[in-house]
Structure 1
Amino acid sequence: MITSAYIHIPFCHQICHYCDFTKFFYNPELADQYLEALENEIVTAVGKQKKPMKTIFVGGGTPTALSYEQLERLLKMIAESFDVDAPLEYTFEANPGEFDEKKLALLKEYGVNRISFGVQVFDDELLEKLGRNHRVQDVYDSLRLFEKQQFDNVSVDLMYGLPGQTYDQFKKTIDEALQLGLPHYSSYSLQIEPKTVFYLRHKKGKLHKPVEEEEANMYELLMSEMNKSGVYQYEISNFAKPGYESKHNLTYWNNDYYYGFGAGAHGYLPGERTVNIKPLNQYTKKAKETGVPQLYVEPVHHKEEMEEQMFLGLRKVKGVSLDEFQRRFGRSIHSLYSGELDYLKRKNWITEAEDHIALTPQGRLFGNEVFAQFLIEDEKLQ
C-alpha cells in the first residue's frame, strides 16, 4: 500500500549556486500552467478520493515562492485527493524571507503541520557565496512567524564542507542553530553537481572545498554537538528530539513505496521506480495530455530490492533489521553477506546487536565504501 507522496514545485525567485534539483525562475503564467498539469497527474494516479496517507512532503524549488492564490490552489488540489484531515505528517519546504504570515496561515488552514526550513548557514558572507537570497536576520524573522502561527514542528537544513568555510565557522552555525531549540535538524556536506554554478567554477579551478580531513572533522563535530544537546542522530545526516524524526524521510530509508509527482520527481511503486520528465514545458504538456508525465520506468527486481534495503537501511543509526529482511525477502542477511559482514566488522565499520546491523560512528564516515559491499553477486541467488 502506498501511503506517502512527494510533490515537487520547481519554482524559485533565485537559483542557488549548488542546487541540482529541478528548478526554474518563478513566472506567474508558467506556474499556473504547471499547477494545472500537476493536478491532472495527481488525479490520474489517485483520483479525487481523499486517499489516506501517512506522509505528504511538498518540496522544490521553493513551494512558498508561489503567489497566495497559487498556493491556495495547490493546497486545495492536494486536499481533494488526499485525506489531510487525518493524522499525518504534512511537510512544506520554505526558505527564509520567501513567505509572509498570510501564506503561513493558509498552510495551517489546510493541515500542513511541519516546515522544512532552508537556513544552510548562520553566516551572511557564506550565504552570499552560496547564491542564497536570504540573510541571517531573515531566519529569525521567519521563526517568529512560525511561532505566531503555532508551527512547532520545524526542521532546519544546514550545510558544511562549503568553499571558504572553516571548522570554527561551522561550529558557530551549529551553536546558533541549537540555541533555537528546534526539534529537528538536517545537515549535508556540499556535493558539487553537474549543471550548477559551483560545478562550472570548480572545473575552472576557481572553487575549492575544504580538504577531506577537515570535512570529516566538521561531520564529527556535528554528531557530537547534536548529541550533547539532546538532538539525537537517527540517520547519517538527520538529528531529532525523540518523537520528531521525519516520518516521510524514513519512508525512503525503510525502502517503502511512495508517489512522486511533479517535474523531475522520483517515485517508488511496487516493482518499479518512476522518474518524471524534467523540462518544464515538456512536463506540463505531457501531464496535461496524459496525466502520466514519466521520462522512464525502471523495473526493480528482487536482487535490486534487497540491495536497496541494505543501502538505505544502513543510513539509519538503528540500521537494518535482520527479522524484517528475512520476512520481506525470504532470505537471511547472513546467507547473502557473511563474508562482507566479517570484513566490515574487522574494519569496525558495522556492528551487529539486538537483531540489527548498523554502521558504527566510524563507519558513517565511510558510508559509500560500506554500501558497496552489499552489491549482490548473481551466483549468490542461484
Structure 2
Amino acid sequence: MARGVYIHIPFCHQICNYCDFNKFYFKNQPVDEYIEMLGKEMELATKKYPESFKQIETIFLGGGTPTALSPQQIARLLELIRTYIPMDSVTEFTSEANPDELSEAKLHALFDGGVNRLSMGVQSFDQELLKKIGRTHSNNHVYETVTLAKKVGFRNISLDLMYGLPGQTMAQWKDTLEKAYALDIPHYSAYSLIVEPKTIFYNQYTKGKLHLPTEDLEADMYDVLMNQMEAHGLQQYEISNFAQSGFSSKHNKIYWENDEYAGFGAGAHGYLAGVRYSNHGPLKKYMDSVNAGELPIVYEHIVTENEKREEQMFLGLRKTEGITHSIYEEKFKESMHRDYSHVIEKLVSEGLLEHDPIGIRLTRKGRFVGNEVFQQFLLED
C-alpha cells in the first residue's frame, strides 16, 4: 500500500548545469495536454489498484519545475490531484519551487489548492556561484518570495542549498548559511554537488574545465554545516536534512523507511506492491501511452527479498535515528543480527556505526562516508 505520491512536472524555463532529472524547456511544449494526461494516469492507476491508494499521507510535486506552470495550470493540476487521489489522510503536500517564478498569484493557487509545504531551490546566496551553476534568481528573489509565501499562509518552508560547487570557498559557504538562517524558516536541505552524466557540468568535467573544491574542503564544508545547523537550533534528522521540531519531511521519510509510493508523470519512478517501476521519459511516448488508456510504465523490477533487506539498511541508515531492531524484525521476520552481525561489528569497531539494544545508526564520522558504509550491507544472492 502506497504511503506517498510523487508527481513529476518536467518543464523548466532554465536548465541548471548540474541537473540530470527528466526535463524539457518550457517553450512550445504541450503543457496543458500534459496536465490532463497526468489526471488520466492518476485515474487509470487508482482504478486499477484502488487498495494501494487508500492511505496516502504525502504528495510531492517535483520536476523540472512545478512553478514554471501558470497560476491557472497549477490550479487545474491540483484540481485533478484532488479528484483522483484520496486526500483524507494527506498531512503534507509539498511543491518544489524556484524563487524567481513564485508570483503571489502562483502562491495563492498552490495554497488554495491544498499545498501546505514549499521546497525552494536556492542553492547559494553568492551571485557568481549562481551564474556558474545556471541559476537565474537573485538573493532579493529569495527574500521577497519567502516573505510573500509567509503572507499567503505557508508556514512549512524548506530551502535547498548546495556545497562543493565549482570554485566555491569556505567563506562563500559560511556566508550562504548565515543568509539562509536569517530567513527564519523551519527546514533546510544541503547537498554536495554530484557531477552526473548527461549534464552540462559532466561535459565540462570530462574536458577538464570544471574546477571543484578538494575532497578535504568539501568534508570541512559538511562539518561546518552540521555544526552551524545545531548552533541555530535545527536538528539533523538525515544525512542532508535539518529541521526544527515537527518540520522534518514526511514524504522523504517514506523513501528512507523503504515504504511504497506511487510515481506519476513522464520519467517518474514508483514502488508499489513490491515492484519498482519507471514511466516513459519522452513526452510523446508518455502521453500516447496514457491517451491509449495504458499506464505509461517502461520498466518494472520485482524487488527480491535480499534487495528489500539491503534497501532497508542503506536507506534507513540515512536517518540519524537509524534502524531499529523491532522494525527490521517486523518487516523481515528475522533479526538484523542474523543477516548483518559481522558487518555491524566491523563498522562499530571502525567508529562508523553506533549499536545499542534499540538499533543501529551512523556516527558523526560515519555520516562523512555514508555511501561507503551503505555498500557494506549488500548481500550475496
TM-score computed with the length of structure 1 as normaliser: 0.96
In the TM superposition, residue 53 of structure 1 has moved relative to its aligned partner by 2.0
1:202 to 188, 200, 205: 205
Q: What's the counterpart of residue 154 of structure 1? A: 157
1:99 aligns with 2:102: yes
1:336 to 339, 348, 361: 339
1:323 to 326, 338, 351: 326
Q: What's the counterpart of residue 73 of structure 2? A: 70
Paired amino acid for 1:261: F
1:185-200 map, 5 Å: 185-200=188-203
In the TM superposition, residue 141 of structure 1 has moved relative to its aligned partner by 1.1
The change in CA–CA distance for 1:86 and 1:332 in structure 2 (over 3 A counts) is closer
What SS does structure 2 have at the residue aligned with 1:188?
A: strand
Following the alignment from structure 2 to structure 1, what is the Cα–Cα distance between the partners of residues 137 and 232? 27
1:114 aligns with 2:117: yes
Following the alignment from structure 1 to structure 2, what is the Cα–Cα distance between the partners of residues 52 and 311? 25
Q: Size of the alignment, in residue pairs? A: 378
1:80-229 map, 5 Å: 80-84=83-87, 87-229=90-232
In the TM superposition, residue 83 of structure 1 has moved relative to its aligned partner by 3.6
The change in CA–CA distance for 1:320 and 1:11 in structure 2 (over 3 A counts) is same
1:349 aligns with 2:326: no
Q: What's the counterpart of residue 293 of structure 2? A: 290
Q: Tell me whether 31-40 or 240-249 shows the greater mean CA deviation.
A: 31-40
Contact 1:8 1:265 in 2 (8 A): yes
Following the alignment from structure 1 to structure 2, what is the Cα–Cα distance between the partners of residues 67 and 87? 24
Paired amino acid for 2:66: P
1:10 aligns with 2:10: yes
Paired amino acid for 1:97: D
Following the alignment from structure 1 to structure 2, what is the Cα–Cα distance between the partners of residues 116 and 304? 30
What SS does structure 1 have at the residue aligned with 2:101?
A: coil
Paired amino acid for 2:16: C
Following the alignment from structure 2 to structure 1, what is the Cα–Cα distance between the partners of residues 178 and 87? 35
- Cα shift readout 1:52-106 (whole Å, capped 9, x = no counterpart): 5210000111101012221111011001012446551000110011121111111
1:364-375 map, 5 Å: 364-375=367-378
What SS does structure 2 have at the residue aligned with 1:3?
A: strand
1:252 to 240, 250, 255: 255
The change in CA–CA distance for 1:29 and 1:23 in structure 2 (over 3 A counts) is closer
Q: What's the counterpart of residue 37 of structure 1? A: 37
What SS does structure 1 have at the residue aligned with 2:35?
A: helix
- Cα shift readout 1:153-183 (whole Å, capped 9, x = no counterpart): 0000000000010111101111111111110
Following the alignment from structure 2 to structure 1, what is the Cα–Cα distance between the partners of residues 146 and 22? 27
What SS does structure 2 have at the residue aligned with 1:295?
A: strand
In the TM superposition, residue 25 of structure 1 has moved relative to its aligned partner by 0.6
Contact 1:84 1:111 in 2 (8 A): no
Contact 1:42 1:291 in 2 (8 A): no
Q: Tell me whether 7-16 or 40-49 shows the greater mean CA deviation.
A: 40-49
The change in CA–CA distance for 1:47 and 1:56 in structure 2 (over 3 A counts) is same
Contact 1:51 1:81 in 2 (8 A): no
- In the alignment, structure 1 segments of 5+ residues that lack a partner are none
Contact 1:36 1:288 in 2 (8 A): no
In the TM superposition, residue 283 of structure 1 has moved relative to its aligned partner by 1.3
In the TM superposition, residue 286 of structure 1 has moved relative to its aligned partner by 1.4
- In the alignment, structure 2 segments of 5+ residues that lack a partner are none
Q: RMSD of aligned C-alpha atoms?
A: 1.5
Contact 1:84 1:110 in 2 (8 A): no
Following the alignment from structure 1 to structure 2, what is the Cα–Cα distance between the partners of residues 370 and 101? 45
Paired amino acid for 1:19: C
Following the alignment from structure 1 to structure 2, what is the Cα–Cα distance between the partners of residues 184 and 250? 14
Contact 2:42 2:85 in 1 (8 A): no
Following the alignment from structure 2 to structure 1, what is the Cα–Cα distance between the partners of residues 266 and 318? 27
Following the alignment from structure 1 to structure 2, what is the Cα–Cα distance between the partners of residues 59 and 47? 24
In the TM superposition, residue 3 of structure 1 has moved relative to its aligned partner by 2.5
Q: What's the counterpart of residue 25 of structure 1? A: 25
TM-score computed with the length of structure 2 as normaliser: 0.96
Runs of 4+ in 1 over 3 A off after TM superposition: 47-52, 83-87
Contact 1:52 1:82 in 2 (8 A): no
